[in-house]
A and B are shown apart, each in its own frame.
Chain A
Amino acid sequence: MLNRDDDILQAAEDWRNAGHGVALATVVETWGSAPRPAGSSLVINDDGTFLGSVSGGCVEGAVVTEALDVIQSGEPKLLEFGVADETAWQVGLSCGGTIRVFVEKVD
């Protein structure tokens, strides 16, 4: 079913063990009609390869870009996406909801 993030976290571990830089992005809060519930995750490696999702596909591109920064810096980030966000025109959620995504490096 839709809540199975099983293979995603295993992929993060495998990538890390293979020497990749890896970041984990997790939906930590949602308001309104957010497409994926809290706990949904996206894993990204330093090739820009990603698995999983934090939305219906609307903000993944932006999350991947931020995740590459996090892999570089090692500092976690809290991202917010929604119609009120100033970047909404580029990467807002079409459903009208708002989500917060925590991005952290696996190290």
Chain B
Amino acid sequence: MKLSTLTELNAERAARRPAIVVTDISSGEQRLVKAADFAADPLRDALAKQLRMGKSGSVEVDGKKLFLNVHAPTAKLVIVGAVHISQALAPLARSLGYDVTVVDPRTAFASVERFPDVPLIAEWPELALPPLNVDHYTAFVAVTHDPKIDDPALLHAFARDCFYIGALGSKKTHARRADRLKAQGASDSDIAKIHAPIGLAIGAVSPSEIAVSIMAEITATLRLPKASAS
């Protein structure tokens, strides 16, 4: 690998932008494909598939064996609401490889006793979220049930183009939320990004089961092709 390629690759990784190194393993010939160039690349279908799976692998093109080394940012999960569901959700998400942060201004909820191993920020979303660098590789869930906390958090998630946004609440609650968010400037396409009611419909009852349904929905959004991830 050329030092210039390695330097560029490391810069992309530091900026949390995905990149793929394509290597012809018989000749050693190599090129770096950055996120912005995926769509125009001759290997775009293979690149898109490997990236979606977050998996490196080989493809054969014109008799040449090419190795696609995928460098995808580590996904983050931001949980707004240090509620009972979050106590189950945080460790589950960590075991799935996410960097997890819990935000809740209510110190009775956001306590180390309740969240012993998770970065916890007991501040309002307006203060807590900007330093977290919420980005496209972030799944964002708002589960406080309190519009004063959830609404500004969701507006932040829209602006940062999170790959997954979910919010707790029934269809009725969600309809009221949509009205409130639109009154604060959210567009219809922003509202459409919210998964609500949150989680896959698996009949979840307990907080842990709801956590499973949320992580299942996040996984599906991350891994399935766009058209089939609902």
Q: A residues bordering B, Cβ < 8 Å?
A: 1, 3-4, 6, 9-10, 12-13, 16-17, 24, 26, 28-29, 37-39, 75-76, 78, 102, 104-107
Contact = CB atoms under 8 A, between A and B. Distances in A.
Nearest to A39: B56
Interface string B1-40: 1110011011001000000000101101010000000000
A6 to B, nearest CB: 7
B119 interface: no
Given A38-B56, A39-B70, A104-B28, A24 B23 contact: no
- Interface of B, secondary structure class, is mixed
B67 A28 contact: yes
Contacts of B225: none
A106 B6 contact: yes
Contacts of A10: 10
Given A10-B10, A38-B57, 7 more contacts: A13-B10, A26-B67, A26-B69, A28-B56, A29-B58, A76-B25, A104-B30
Contact of B2 (A26, A39, A107): A107
Given A9-B9, A10-B10, A102 B67 contact: yes
Interface residues of B, number: 23
Interface string B88-113: 00000000010000000000000000
A38 B20 CA distance: 13
A11 B170 CA distance: 49
B55 A39 contact: yes
Contact of A78 (B25, B70, B74): B25
30 contacts: A1-B74, A3-B54, A3-B97, A9-B6, A9-B9, A9-B10, A10-B10, A12-B6, A16-B6, A17-B3, A24-B1, A24-B6, A26-B67, A28-B23, A28-B25, A28-B56, A28-B58, A28-B67, A39-B55, A39-B56, A39-B70, A76-B28, A102-B23, A102-B67, A104-B1, A104-B30, A106-B1, A106-B2, A106-B6, A107-B3
Nearest to B11: A13
A95 B10 CA distance: 32
Nearest to A23: B1
Interface string B60-89: 000000010110001000000000000000
Nearest to B9: A9
Contact of B69 (A3, A39, A78): A39
A4 B1 contact: no
Contacts of A6: 13
B71 to A, nearest CB: 8
B7 to A, nearest CB: 6
B58 A13 contact: no
Given A1-B97, A9-B13, A78-B25, A38 B1 contact: no
